[in-house]
């Protein structure tokens, strides 16, 4: 047995995972080179080796949940190559307006056909609210309504939807609450569908970066946007929100959150899924809004993202026979790994889902939180 295999076997044992074991979370090795690859490249090596078919597991989500719960990454040394990559991320602003547009295109413009089949009927690509819901459609509708109620929307209000995606929330808020919506996204394929979805409603969809928006809005919402802002730009983002938000206005930010403050992301996710994406912590959010906004309410329903991701995965697998005409086997393994890894991360409570309601500092009534 090679030294690399012995090391990986020992690390896995700390999470009660066996090589070629019989349990559904045990790792099945198909290529012995995987051990050196994992030790040399950590998360990147593990993910790429899966894409290449070097290993499998019956339940990748359960495997990843166990590895994260055991904090195995902290026990694998960072190589000089990875250290250089991390240093580059720290020095560069990878979420400038120009780069943000390219980053968004990398993920959101790969094909609406994929998202139409994977997501719910409203194409909501963020954590659903499963409190009283039995299926994905109901859970996503419940999330949209929860956001509207937290914002205390009233007919005739103006609302800015930053990172509006395919227009699902903009459509819902305009239809159900009678608000006038401006939605923005840098991804052209999202904008096309969002415009079709909201045709005939008091909704304007713009292909635009948040830094270039002007005007005043009674309410601001961002759902799944903060993850794309980048740690170097949190202050810029919230300063811009402050200039756009009307006096005594409310805003809500729905975002994946980390348990600790970081300035880099998982290298596999960065390379293949969300280039430039950074998961903020509550500390980073709080620091960015300090002395600018009052934080009125924070809700964490991170475990609901596990269930959401597993629902997306089931839809993706079910639809793949048709999608396979366009997306090859390597893409299938990449996308499956992405969805199941993220589900495992939320299951281990390695990641959270925060909804944060804020208003500008100044005299105001007591904010009544809803759930």
Provide the annotated active-site residues.
Answer: 342
- Residue 260's φ and ψ, nearest 5 degrees, are -145, 160
Q: Which two structure tokens, joined as six digits, stand for 20?
A: 């070629």
Give the residues across from 281 on adjacent strands.
258
State the Cα–Cα distance between residues 362 and 233, nearest whole angstrom: 25
DSSP at 73: G
Burial label, 87 (beta-carbon count in 10 A; 0-12, 13-18, 19+): exposed
Burial label, 6 (beta-carbon count in 10 A; 0-12, 13-18, 19+): exposed
Helix/strand/coil for 368: coil
Q: Are strands 245-258 and 217-223 parallel, antiparallel or unpaired?
A: parallel
DSSP for 298-343, written as a single string: EEE-THHHHHHHHHHHHHHHHHHHHHTTTS-HHHHHHHHHHHHHHH
Q: Are 123 and 114 in contact (CB under 8 A)?
A: no
Distance of CA 288 to the CA centre of its chain: 20
State the Cα–Cα distance between residues 83 and 64, nearest whole angstrom: 23
Helix/strand/coil for 186: coil
List Cβ neighbours of 261 (8 Å cut-off, separation of 6 or more). Answer: 231, 280, 281, 283, 284
Place of tokens 């596990």: 306
Q: Which two structure tokens, joined as six digits, stand for 64?
A: 């990843």
Helix/strand/coil for 190: helix
State the Cα–Cα distance between residues 287 and 1, nearest whole angstrom: 50
């Amino acid at each position: 047995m090679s030294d690399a295999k012995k090391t990986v076997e020992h690390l896995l044992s700390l999470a009660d995972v066996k090589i070629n074991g019989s349990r559904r979370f045990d790792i099945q090795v198909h290529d012995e080179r995987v051990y050196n690859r994992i030790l040399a490249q950590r998360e990147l090596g593990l993910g790429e080796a899966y894409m290449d078919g070097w290993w499998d597991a019956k339940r990748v989500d359960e495997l990843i949940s166990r590895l994260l719960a055991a904090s195995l990454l902290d026990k694998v040394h960072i190589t000089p190559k990875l250290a250089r990559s991390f240093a580059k991320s720290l020095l560069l602003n990878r979420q400038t307006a120009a780069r943000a547009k390219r980053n968004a295109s990398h993920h959101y413009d790969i094909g609406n056909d994929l998202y139409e089949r994977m997501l719910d009927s409203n194409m909501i690509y963020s954590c659903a609210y499963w409190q009283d819901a039995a299926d994905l459609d109901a859970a996503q509708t419940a999330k949209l309504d929860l956001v509207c109620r937290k914002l205390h929307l009233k007919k005739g209000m103006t609302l800015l939807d930053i990172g509006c995606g395919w227009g699902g929330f903009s459509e819902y808020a305009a239809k159900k609450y009678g608000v006038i919506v401006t939605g923005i996204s840098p991804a052209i394929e999202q904008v096309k569908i969002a415009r079709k979805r909201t045709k005939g409603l008091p909704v304007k969809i713009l292909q635009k970066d948040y830094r270039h928006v002007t005007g005043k809005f009674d309410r601001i919402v961002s759902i799944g946007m903060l993850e794309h802002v980048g740690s170097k730009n949190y202050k810029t983002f919230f300063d811009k929100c402050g200039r756009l938000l009307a006096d005594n206005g409310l805003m809500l930010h729905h975002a994946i959150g980390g348990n600790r403050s970081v300035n880099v992301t998982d290298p596999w996710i960065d390379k293949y899924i969300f280039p430039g994406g950074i998961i903020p912590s509550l500390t980073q959010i709080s620091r960015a809004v300090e002395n600018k906004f009052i934080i009125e309410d924070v809700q964490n329903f991170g475990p609901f993202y596990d269930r959401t991701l597993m629902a997306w995965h089931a839809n993706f697998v079910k639809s793949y026979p048709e999608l396979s005409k366009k997306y090859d086997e390597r893409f299938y393994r990449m996308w499956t790994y992405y969805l199941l890894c993220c589900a495992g991360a939320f299951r281990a409570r390695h990641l959270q889902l925060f909804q944060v309601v804020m208003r500008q500092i100044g005299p105001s009534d007591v904010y009544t939180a809803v759930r």
